[in-house]
Structure formats: structure tokens, C-alpha cells
Amino acid sequence: MKKNIYYLFVLLLFFKCIPSLAQEGEKPIVVSPLIGDTLSLEERDYYNLLPTINNFHWAVFYLNPDSTLNVKVTYLKASALQDTIITKYRTLKSLLLHLNAAENPESVNPVENKEYAGNEVSAIYNNGAKVSGNLLSATSSSLIIYSLNCDEKEINVNCATLVRPSDLQKLTVKSDFNLGRILYPIITGLAAIIIYNSTHKPEEGSLESLGDDMTQNFLTGFAIGLGGALVGIGLSYAVPLKISSEEEYSVPLNEDDIQGLSKIARYKDFEPYYNQLTR
């Protein structure tokens, strides 16, 4: 669509210039040479930005002091052009990564969210249809759900479903917690200490030697208990003791809901472009 040869240079330039740009929050900014400061309808469709705006004509970007972007969107309503402001649409860095992923999908390796635990999400549409799977990403404009029947390591775009929050009737998140990570180390650690104490008795002698022996036994028992706890941690991965909980999100989803969902999603900073191909 547009040449990418200048992208990496501009990417670095923008990261260095964020503080100075933030001082000009009332002026439109050139987001990148790919789209400039104004997003056209063609660019909106190509990059899958602001997909929920009906009768979109163009949009202009403004940078906030916290590096988030406000967007002034012009759209057609009742045969007349009207404007609306979307505040804190996403960060400048996130948008640049998004654009780069769209132009160079093979060169971008999305960073997984460290808190991602494969939480199962169930989305029920307004028409009663349902889709379930793992949550890949969550933004104010879309949720991407990945089928549980597909390989997680190699993402298959045909297994990804893009859900508009406006189409939702209900959203539930089922989370699994491995209680064994807490319970097993305590049990195996205490068991190791008890077994050690039952098989080892301090020798009779002077009070001084008895005190030294008790100190040594305490340190030895502590080390054995710690070793037992480590065995318990390993056991919790081999034989997990999982308990499940389910949280229901009311619609429409608010900003706190989106932030909470993004924390448990597989990708936190941006939506991988190969998943954005779903419509």
C-alpha cells in the first residue's frame, strides 16, 4: 500500500520524540509516514483501525502527555458529516507496532503476556450464538478468541474469531488456579521435617553440647523442609490440583473491564496482524 522503507527510522524517531510531542497535544501529529496525521477510509480498512465506526470518512490523531492518542473521527450521519472524539484510543507505541505488524507480519514476533494462563472465554452474541476459546487480545474495539481445538503454538487465522463488544450479550471468563502450587509445598515440607525429627534424637550430654546439637538439628531440619517444599513444587506441575472459577462481565464493557481482560489475554500490547485478518 505504502512503502515501508522509512518505517524503522521513523519508529525510533517517534520513541525518542514522545516527550516533546506530548507538549503539542492540541495539534494533529504525524503518526507515521504510513498514514500521516489523517487516517483515510482506505487506510482504516487496510490496517483494521477503528472498525466499529459506521460510515467512516477520516480520522485525525492527537497525542496526550501520557503517550496515548485521542482520535477525532469524522463520519456521515443523516447525510451530514459529524465529528466524535475517542479519548485514549491506544498508545503511540502500540499503534506503531500495529502498523508495522500490518506491513511486515513475518518480521514481528508478538510478545506474550506473562500473566497469560490460557483462560477460557465464552462470548454470547445478541442473536444467541456462542463462541468459546482462549483470549488472544482485548481492546475497546474487539476481542479475539482462539479455538481450544487448535494448536496454540502455531496460530492459525482460521481458528481465530474477532468479536465486537457491541455484538455481545454476555461474556464469561473461566479461570483455573493450581492450588497444588501452595498446598503441595506446605504438605511435603512439613512431612519431610516430621520424618526427620522422628528418626533423629539428640544425643545426651552437657547443656552446651545439647544446645549446639539442637541448633544443628534445627538448621538441618530447615534444609530438609525446604527440600521437601521444592519437591512439592515439582509435584504441583506433574499432578496439578486445579480449582476453577467463573467471572461474568456485563455489557457494554467499560474501560476497567477491557483493562482486566487485556491483562489475562495472550497478547497485551497489540493485536497480532495475522489475527486481525478475521472479520
Residue 16 has a pLDDT of 47
- For residue 223, pLDDT over 50 is answered with yes
CA distance 143 to 52: 12
Q: Average the pLDDT over 264-278 and give the result.
A: 58
pLDDT mean across residues, the chain: 76
CA distance 279 to 267: 18
Q: Report the SS3 class of residue 125.
A: strand
**pLDDT digit string (tens) for 104-133?**
765 555 667 777 777 788 998 888 889 898
Environment class of 260 (CB within 10 Å of its CB; exposed 0-12, middle 13-18, buried 19+): middle
Q: Are 232 and 191 in contact (CB under 8 A)?
A: no
CA distance 271 to 86: 19
**pLDDT digit string (tens) for 30-59?**
988 888 889 999 998 888 888 888 899 999
Torsion of CA 162, 163, 164, 169, to 10 degrees: 170
Sketch the domain layout of the chain as residue ranges. 7-103, 120-173+247-276, 180-238
Q: Report the SS3 class of residue 142.
A: coil
Q: Are 147 and 155 in contact (CB under 8 A)?
A: no
The DSSP-derived string for 193-244 is HHHHHHH--PPP--HHHHHHHHHHHHHHHHHHHHHHHHHHHHHHHHS--EEE
CATH number of 120-173+247-276: 2.30.30
Chain centroid offset of residue 265 CA: 4
0.75 exceeded by the pTM?
no
Identify any residues that bridge with 242 across adjacent strands, giving them in sequence order: 178
Closest CA to 89 of 62, 55, 122, 124: 62
Residue 23 has a pLDDT of 38
Q: Cβ neighbours of residue 124 under 8 Å, at least 6 residues apart? A: 130, 168, 169, 170, 171
**pLDDT digit string (tens) for 178-193?**
777 788 888 888 888 8
Question: Could you tell me whether strands 168-178 and 242-249 are parallel, antiparallel, or unpaired per DSSP bridges?
Answer: antiparallel
DSSP code of residue 165: G
Which grid coordinates belong to 262? 487485556
- For residue 73, pLDDT over 90 is answered with yes
Cis peptide before 33 (omega within 30 of 0): no
CA distance 161 to 278: 6
